[in-house]
Copies of this chain bind each other. A is one copy, B any other.
Amino acid sequence: MSALDARFRLRVGALDLDIAFRAEPGVTAILGPSGAGKTTVLRCLAGLRRPADAVIHLGDAVWQDDRAGIFVPPHRRGVGYVFQEADLFAHLSVRRNLRYALDRAPEHRVRWDDAVAWLGVGPLLDRAPGRLSGGERQRVAIARALLSSPRLLLMDEPLSALDEVGRRDILPYIAELPARLALPIVYVSHSLTEVARLADHVVWLVDGRIRRAGPPADVLAHPEFAQWLGDAAAVVADAVVQGHDDRFHLTRLDGPWGPMLVRRHGSSEPGRRVRVQIAASDVSVGLARETDTSILNQFAVRVRDVTPTSPSDVLVRLGRDDGPALLARITRRSAHHLALAPGRDVYARVKSVAVLD
């Protein structure tokens, strides 16, 4: 279990990259606008670009340290890199693209059959890369990166060419990888769902600088970030499994804002920690607890603050001051109607809770 530590600077064209972050085993998501330098960061980590003033190490292995004159070339780093444009070897069939990775892996922490099945590339094995669809190419590229049994996985919008369903099928598998393979993943994505789902750590990159970094609960709930995201704002938090309701296929969780019922989550043992994501647009606020409703989860919470985010909307932070926040995006009119102000006790009604792992 080794963490990635990276600190470097690089000028590319008009961009002035200046980065320092730590990626623990788990998923570190890099978010940011187009041209912010996300791909460039991955290239530096892989050793494909050589930044200046750099100190990059993975656990004990020093990959670059310009003071000490150390630069480990890409092929000795053991990074799995899923490029933004899935670049398969044009002269090799899908099978041989995958074998290329497998044959050079020092150990086989990912089994061939598993990678092929997980990414659904079985039927494609004998195809030439030129005869694949965009999504097919992307899945093959992911499988190939995995089969190299990397010590660090770099993924640059790996699911961008996949449909919602394909994405839904592959995401849980990626989510498992860090635990299974004990490696850090640095994951660039434009999709907040993917990020919320996967990330243990979020780096928000703007114009080559880290604007904000930290646990998703902090970064995502930060008003500045939420405002940038607009409709997509959401929070994540940890909860503990209490038990299951087999009749309705539900799971009881104990979360930071009280007990909650969610769609049955596997067969997790009571006591296990899970992560839940709640979108700000899924939370409504009421003054009383309601009974005859399809909403399962209502929390008695206190208003922490109310931030206007547009002429019609406000973002309400709910919860105790010392616990994780819950975000509710509601209209200004409702906020007025319910007289929401810091300190007011309300019920947060959560339409849907996504359990992320």
Contact = CB atoms under 8 A, between A and B. Distances in A.
Nearest to A313: B263
Nearest to A288: B292
Contact of A285 (B264, B288, B293, B310): B293
A224 interface: no
A38 B134 CA distance: 10
Given A284-B295, A292-B286, A292-B338, A165 B228 contact: yes
A34 B286 contact: no
A338 to B, nearest CB: 6
Given A294-B286, A313-B263, A334-B294, A354 B164 contact: no
Contacts of A93: none
A286 B123 CA distance: 47
A76 interface: no
Interface residues of A, number: 80
Contacts of A160: 157, 160-161
A252 to B, nearest CB: 11
Interface stretch (A44-52, A178-186, A243-251): A243-251
A235 to B, nearest CB: 16
A330 B282 CA distance: 13
A123 B334 CA distance: 41
A10 interface: no
Given A135-B35, A284-B293, A336 B248 contact: yes
Contact of A39 (B12, B133, B164): B133
Contacts of A135: 33-35
Interface string A121-142: 0010001000101111001000
A190 interface: yes
A231 B169 CA distance: 13
Interface of A: 12-14, 31-35, 38-39, 84-85, 123, 127, 131, 133-136, 139, 156-157, 160-168, 190-192, 228-232, 245, 247-250, 261, 263-264, 281-288, 290, 292-296, 310-313, 328-338, 349, 351-352, 354
